[in-house]
Amino acid sequence: MAMKYVSTRGAAPVLGFGEAMMTGLARDGGLYVPETTPALTRAEIAGMAGAPYEEVAFKVMRPYLGGFFGDDEFRGLIARAYQGFHHAARAPLVQLGANHFLLELFHGPTLAFKDFAMQLIGQMMQAALARTGERITIVGATSGDTGSAAMEAFRGLANVDVFILFPHGRVSEVQRRQMTTPVEANCHALAIDGDFDEAQARVKDMFNDFAFRDGVRLAGVNSINWARVLAQVVYYFYAGTALGAPHREVSFTVPTGNFGDIFAGYIARRMGLPIDKLVIATNQNDILDRALRSGDYLTHGVKPSISPSMDIQVSSNFERALFDAYGRDGAAVAQLMGEMKTGGFRISQGAIESLRSSFASGRCDEDETLAVIARHWKTTGELLCPHSAVGVKVAEEHVGAAPMITLATAHPAKFPDAVQRATGIRPGLPPHMADLFDKPERETRVPNDLAALQAIVRERIAR
Ligand SMILES: *Cc1c(COP(=O)(O)O)cnc(C)c1O
């Protein structure tokens, strides 16, 4: 039976995998989720231990495709997606302390975990477009890493234009240069006068303007796209089975902003991976930690931090977790999201209990982030990026009997200023990016205004 995808707001067409991937945001403003979660057997999970990353990826994702790609075709796409990674293990584990491990997800071409999903989506979308000869316009918002990963995955493709909105002045220089230096004419870096939440809101506005959306054939690569989340489920199985699952439980701590990465862990658990604790780690923009403790999801406005990829207060994928916590009641989710316009909502008693049974949480402020980077450099020799440091600090508060795996989401060289402040060491870019600072930059400053943004997109794709 082909897997179907439904919207978290219950009022959009039910789609197959390929359509859900190309559609991005559902037409009722919701996010697509699979109608059911396929479970893997204990034997299937046990069989992943020690297998190559690509093999685990095939086994974890195949049940979601509904036959959209044939098996051989899908294996080929996976192979091409990960061949550009700079570590044979793709996602190596290193030990940080007693029962505490770091999953290094930063060996992809743009040095952040976003490459795991984006490289694969690039391959999958290209294969889908090749069948129909269609052209699409990708528009995405980024707090820094999604944008660079998307440009790397789509640059130079004949039938795709990629527009990335990033908050002007609020991304690291390495992040910015990764977006502004691709020379391909189909890459458009747009520096918006606003923060990430505003950039993401304008992208959603474009999707909700159906005339525009259909006119430019809009597609999305933010983690509103289910295929992004799906690709991230893989490394939970890969790391979990490396440390003894399914024969014993494992725990994960995930530095969180838009809730996509940790939601992938939640899916892994529902598919049968025995996850004890799944811990949300936030920086000083701690809406998710506060919401889980108090039951009130209230936005306070973003405070720029040294872990900018997590400077988010409107956490898109949290909607997917709410959908399950509200018993998959799309109307209830739509009502909550309506209340977001006035700054937030109260989570029902039943739903908050359900969320607390799935997730633990903690926060890490700026000083603590620097202190953790300094301490680990001294004691373990591991140079942590500030996002990974937020995870490590929160994880240390949650280590129990099960091995704890903290997701290291970016390479320290992507955030050299913070790392240098903490350690005195300025991490250098890996050789494949050594010329990043010599390349000319190309970016367009844009206002936080829907009509102006739409005009830019229309004008650029008409060239
Ligand atoms: C995107 C990102 C995060 C947050 O991931 P979400 O899926 O948005 O929760 C954390 N760290 C880094 C380095 C990132 O790029």
Listed residue (316, 310, 131) closest to 220, CA to CA: 316
The preferred substitution site among 309, 314, 384, 390 for testing ligand 1, maximizing ligand atoms within 8 Å of CB, is 309
Q: Is 388 in the pocket of ligand 1 (CB under 6 A)?
A: no
Q: Is the CB of 255 under 6 A from ligand 1?
A: yes
Strand boundaries in 20-113, DSSP class E: 32-34, 93-97, 100-104
Give pLDDT tens digits for 80-118. 999 999 999 999 999 999 999 999 999 999 999 999 999
- The catalytic residue positions are 114
Is the CB–ligand 1 distance for residue 182 below 6 Å? no
- pTM of the predicted protein model: 0.96
Ligand 1 center–CA 157 separation, angstroms: 26
Cβ of 265 closer than 6 Å to ligand 1, yes or no, is: no
CATH no., domain 89-108+226-423: 3.40.50.1100
Q: Whose CA is nearest to atom 15 of ligand 1?
A: 145
Helices (H), 397-437: 416-423
Are the beta carbons of 86 and 432 closer than 8 angstroms? yes
Question: To 5 degrees, how large is the angle CA 420–CA 422–CA 426?
Answer: 15
Nearest atom (ligand 1) to Cα of 258: 8
pLDDT at 52: 98
Site to probe by mutation for ligand 1, drawn from 232, 252, 256 as the one with most ligand atoms within 8 Å of Cβ, is 256
Q: How remote is the CA of residue 388 from the centroid of ligand 1, in Å?
A: 10
Ligand 1 centroid to Cα of residue 143, in Å, is: 8
Position 340, amino acid: M
Q: What is the distance of C-alpha 195 from the center of its chain? A: 18
287-294 and 349-358 helices, crossing angle to 10°? 120
Q: Is the CB of 324 under 6 A from ligand 1?
A: no
Q: How many CA atoms lie within 13 A of 93 on its CB side?
A: 21
Q: Which of 209-213, 225-229, 309-313 has the lowest mean pLDDT?
A: 309-313
| Domains of the chain by residue range | 89-108+226-423
Report d(CA 336, CA 86) in Å as an integer.
Answer: 43
Is 373's C-beta closer than 6 angstroms to any atom of ligand 1? no
pLDDT digits over 357-414, tens only? 999 999 999 999 999 999 999 999 999 999 999 999 999 999 999 999 999 999 999 9
Cβ of 175 closer than 6 Å to ligand 1, yes or no, is no
Question: What's the rounded Cα separation, in Å, for the pair 120 and 230?
Answer: 10
Per-position b or e across 177-195, b if 16+ CB within 10 A of its CB: bbbbbbeeebbbbbbbebb
**Separation of 70 CA from ligand 1 center, angstroms?**
31
Residues 19 and 446: their CA atoms lie apart, in Å, by 31
pLDDT tier at 136 (50, 70, 90 boundaries)? very high
Among 309, 283, 238, 317, which residue's Cα sits nearest to residue 391? 283
Contacts of 347 (CB under 8 A, 6+ apart): 291, 295, 296, 297, 322, 325, 336, 355
Asked whether the predicted pLDDT for residue 183 surpasses 80, the reply is yes
CA gap 326, 86 in Å, rounded: 42
In sequence order, the β-bridge partners of residue 275 are 250
d(CA 69, CA 300): 43
What is the Å distance from ligand 1's center to 256 Cα? 6
Confidence at residue 1, expressed as pLDDT on a 0 to 100 scale: 60
For residue 190, what are the contacts with CB-CB under 8 A and spacing of at least 6?
A: 163, 164, 165, 166, 443, 444, 446, 453, 456
